[in-house]
Structure 1
Amino acid sequence: MTGTRFTNLNNTISIVKNPYFFAFLIFLVAICIRLIIFPVNPYQVYLIFFPAIITSFYFCGFNAGATTLQMCATSAYYIFNPPFWSFKYSFEAVFGLLFFSASGLLIGKIIENLRLNEQRYLALLNNQTDLVSRFKADGTILFINSAYSDFFGVNHRTLVGKRWHPIAHPDDLEMINEKINGITHKNLTVIIENRVFDKNNEIRWVQFINHGILDSNSKIVEYQSVGRDITDIRLEQNRITHLAHHDPLTGLPNRLLLDDRLLQAISFAKRTLGKVRVYCFDLDKFKPINDKFGHAAGDEVLQELSQRMKSVIRESDTICRLGGDEFILIVSDKEFDTTQANIAERVIEQISRPVKLTNGNVVFVTATFGFSEYPIDSNIPCELIKIADNRMLQLKHSL
């Protein structure tokens, strides 16, 4: 085991390059201390030598430590057992020698097994792709594994002893601390998803499973955290959520999101004594474009008109594609002044402008609309849409 390096958590503990020489120095120090403190006390024969063999086993390895044990046992028996400086036999002396040797070997084996278990533990952690760390209640980092170090681009010596807070997004710190402080002896584990800054200073989403470590009094003394990069999962979830709530062609909210937005608008209007208007727009002269130039041209028109309609409404308003060539606009306000009342005219104006297709052709469409108003017409979302749609159809058929 000469020259082998070991790691104790993130603090490197090495078996010295010349373990037998170092073991001999430990023995000499122990002898000197023994002679100074208990020069002639036969009842303290082996007392001073226990720290020496523990130190030797820990820093020099088992073989060199056993050599220190042998030198200490021999010297203690020869020098400090009456009649001193003699190998004279006595039952008490031999029993003490055997007890000291057996105890020393047991200590050595325990230290060696702890060292091996420590290596296995660290090998297991450092071979993980998950980000493993341990930290105190104040956020001071005690340990990080290799994956953690690589992910954040920092050496463990740079990060250990410092707080983890700088790597987390500042907007998430309050939420993180609140959840970690919620860990108790009755609820030791909490899962947190938050943003962090990686080694390229880019924002990533990481899921951390945080577990409290208790002492014998059931008091949390530190936390162990296992993190996993879930940025791609979050992006995919956001993409799926967006697809579930938006029209894939125009990017506008779809019927599912329309119902939710309208319900929210009505709820807010109830609390503030406001009003909500629902406008239903149906494109005119759109079908001939599909018939003449194809559905790709029709899709191009819908995309262009969607962007135009979005450009003339407020951020608080919602424009949705209900399906085909039909659109719904939700407008909320305390009262509808001239600006809000004329919003339908502005939308019609944008729709009526010519659309130039990528094939060079220019097409024209118009639109017919009808509207309903909360609380005058109804306080039920689906009924407001139905009323606006019916009024739009009535106007369309009258033209």
Structure 2
Amino acid sequence: MATAPFSRFEFLIAWRYLRARRAEGGVSVMTWISLVGIALGVMALVATMAVRAGFRTEFVGTILGANSHVEIGNYAYVGENGVRTTALTDYAALTERIAAIPGVARANPRVSGFAMATFGDRSNVGEVFGVTGDVLAQLPTFAGAPQALGDIARFDEGIAIGAEIARELGVGPGDRVKLIQPNGVKTAFGVSPRVNVYEVVYIFSAGRSDVDKTRIYMPFAEAQAYFNREGAADQIEVYLDDPEALDALVPALAEAAGEGRFVWSWKDRAGAFLNALAIEDDVMFVILTLIVLIAALNITSGLVMLVKNKGRDIGILRTMGLTEGSVLRVFFLCGAFTGVIGTIAGVLLGALIAWNIDPIMSAINYMTGGGAWDPSIRGIYRLPAELRAWDVGRAVALSLTLSFIVTIFPARRAARMNPVEALRYE
């Protein structure tokens, strides 16, 4: 009896076989074990890939939000006074050339150095950046952040410091912090430290622990005087319209910078870490693939038991004219149903975990006493999750492919069963 492939009666028979009676409880149990195993495997795969994608997005976002996309500066050279320096004396003209390149959103000069910040009996070492107030206000994670304190509009009247420096020093907006810099005032008897007192007018949180615990911002002109950079800058900060399109702009930036100058990008700064994340993503996908494969192999066990229990039915169907192809498709559908239902359940469970990752992490932190997520180690303050269609599609394709492949072998065994042998002892 020739029938169209995957006819309605084939679906009905397959669905009936999956709903085994109590007397055939072994088949039913194996089906449930297979379904639950695949669901858990897919759930783990979807949730893990969502967290990994969210972590990378958050990490890159905080890098781009707290730092320039490209930095351009001088290699060390001997200045007019015979002292080796890296100062950019033509920073104004260089900034204009760079800002005119298509794809560059803005560029600005910067002075940078280190200083000791003290308040009362507390002290800390900070990295001081000298920029103008409009530059600081345009950094995505600085202005208007929920954790920010003070008035960024008063930046020209004092300094802005990171939230963790402020916490360690015990200062707030309006307090006056002493900054000590060893290479300060030049006198006839040598160089004496420079000690200046500044009002803290703004406390920011950039979303990165390493920035919040080290970064101090100072007005550009004041930083030039404080670090002995009169008429010079240390680097040119460059911000791009599309930071991911950096590679196409590097040649133009290098040409505008000229000889003897370096171009240092955000990918150079965090490239090793991002490459490590990519490798970990691939390794995690392979490991979780093995979990899904082990779960899918349970389908084979369940179908082998089903074929053994349904030997008499197979013989009757074959004597009624059912072809080998129809029998194969019936038992293939039995396994496919398990794979499809388990995959759908796994995707839904994985999505629920990804959408509720913050409450889950809060619960884990509560149970572990707050040590489940340490920003000082991981850099960012929270564990985000980002469901991407590509990751969900890969998980679904992997689960269904494995489920279909492992189903073929017991289905072929059922199709090739001799009806005479099947009915001989009935």
TM-score (norm 1): 0.23
Higher helix share: 2
Please identify the structure whose Cα radius of gyration is greater. Answer: 1
Of structures 1 and 2, the one with the larger relative CO (CA 8 A, separation 6+) is 2
